Structures are given as C-alpha cells and as structure tokens.
Amino acid sequence: MRWLQVKLLVGIKMLLAFDIGNTHTVVGLFKKEKLVNHWRLASERARTEDELAVLLHHFFEHAKIDMSSIYGVCISSVVPDLTEVYQYFARRYLNYEPLIVDATIDLGMKVLYKNPAAVGADRLCNAVAGISKYGKPCIVVDFGTATTIDCIDADGNYEGGIISPGIVTSIEALHLKAAKLPRVNFEFPEKMIGQTTEESIQSGIFWGSVFLIEGFVKKLKDELGKKTVVVATGGLAKKIVEYTEVIDYVDQYLNLEGMYLIYQRNRKSRQL
C-alpha cells in the first residue's frame, strides 16, 4: 500500500502504541514522551492486518502525519488473536518487529505475582506509568471490561491486585441472565433508592461500583500504607471520580504512557 497520497507532515519521529483490550483498542502516537494523537477502535476479532492498515492510513492522513515518521511499535494486548494481527501489520506495513509487553521484558520493577506470565499486559503498563508519574506505593484502578486494581508497594514492586466485573459487563450480564431486567442507560440515578426497575439497576451497578472501590482502597491502604496514592484510568474513570473521594488522580491514558516508558527501557537492549 502507498501510504501517502497528499502532502503530509514529515520529520517527526514517533512511537506507535497499541493498547488492545477486550472491548476497544486504543492507538497512541508519541513524539518523545508526549502523547500527540490517539484513536479508539473496536477490538474486532475478525479484523485482518490489511483492514487495520486501511483504518490507520485514514487516521494518519487526516492528522497529516507521515507513516514513515514511525520509529517503533509497542503492543499491550489481552486478546491473543489480535496480538498476532497487530504484529503482522507492524511487520508488513511498517517493517518493524514490535515490542510485546509481558512480564519477561525489562519493566523496571519486580513482579511478585506467583505466576508473572499471568499478569495482563495492561496491568503491567498501568503499574509502570503509575510509579513513574505518581510515586510509590501506588494503587491503579482501571475501569474497563473488567475493573482491575493493581498494587505497587513502597519498594516499587508489583504485588498483584484485584479483578472484578466491569460496569458495562455487569449491566450486560444482568440483562442477559435475568429475562425481565432491561439493559439500562449508562448513568448514575438521581437518587440511590430506585423507584423504577431501571433506576434500581443503575443504583446497584453504579453505586455498587463506587462502594466496591472505596472498600477495596480502604483495605489495601491497610496493607500498603495510608499515604498510598490512588490513580484511576480507563474510559469510565472520569464519571466515577465525581462520586468518591478515595481517588487522587484520573489519568485516562496511563496505559499508553506505560507502554512508552517500557519501550524506551527496552529499546537499546533489544535493538528496536
């Protein structure tokens, strides 16, 4: 494919990062350490590397960015089938071998999980960026398909964390498993006491999520220390933080920033 059909910006060396989640894939472009562009795609399992190339071609062309300015590719993925698709894309269309984030590469922190290979790449990226930006000890709450809570101790070690159903996942599960329960709108109800079935479900899902986070943070600070910083990320973080005081910072693109840090850390040793 010929990427350039119009005059685009050149001379800007950038890192291309793919955060592949179960529901969405976030594409990020870094100029040095700054995230300068980002896009969100559906994580379609049937998508091919050729289809991905067409999509990205349009994104880059619209942003007036020359694909030849890319100096490397980093992939964080929790969807193995899509990992291969993005690898093939990087090799075929960019002529780069991408860095795949997992516990075997240099993360700059010890992973104390009993089976480090079982830790999701997204959780590792969040932890790396959390330490770098907000210090240690640190708790990162990621509101995604699952709500994950990751813990970094005072020595900068990744200790592990908590995985619970995400907000949208909970809404869908109730609708699918209970014949008379509708799929509700994505919003907090005006009052906690629901006076319709929809309001009752909204109260249970959304206030339940707030209380879940508050309870977990309280207990985790007993283990990590009272001064532990709490960072929220993911698409729903800004909505949840309005209703609780236990979250210190909201950083929507924490995962992408972790990918940038990890790539730079491994760039020379892996000749990327």
Catalytic residue IDs: 122
Residues 6+ positions from 221 with CB-CB distance below 8 Å: 139, 228
How far is Cα 212 from Cα 141, in angstroms, rounded to an integer?
11
Rounded to whole angstroms, the Cα distance separating 28 from 30 reads: 7
Convert 205-250 into a string of H (helix), E (strand) and C (coil): HHHHHHHHHHHHHHHHHHHHCCCCEEEEECCCHHHHHCCCCCCCEE
**How many residues are present in the chain?**
272
209-233 burial code (b ≥16 CB/10 A, e <16) = bbebbeebbeebbeebeeebbbbbb
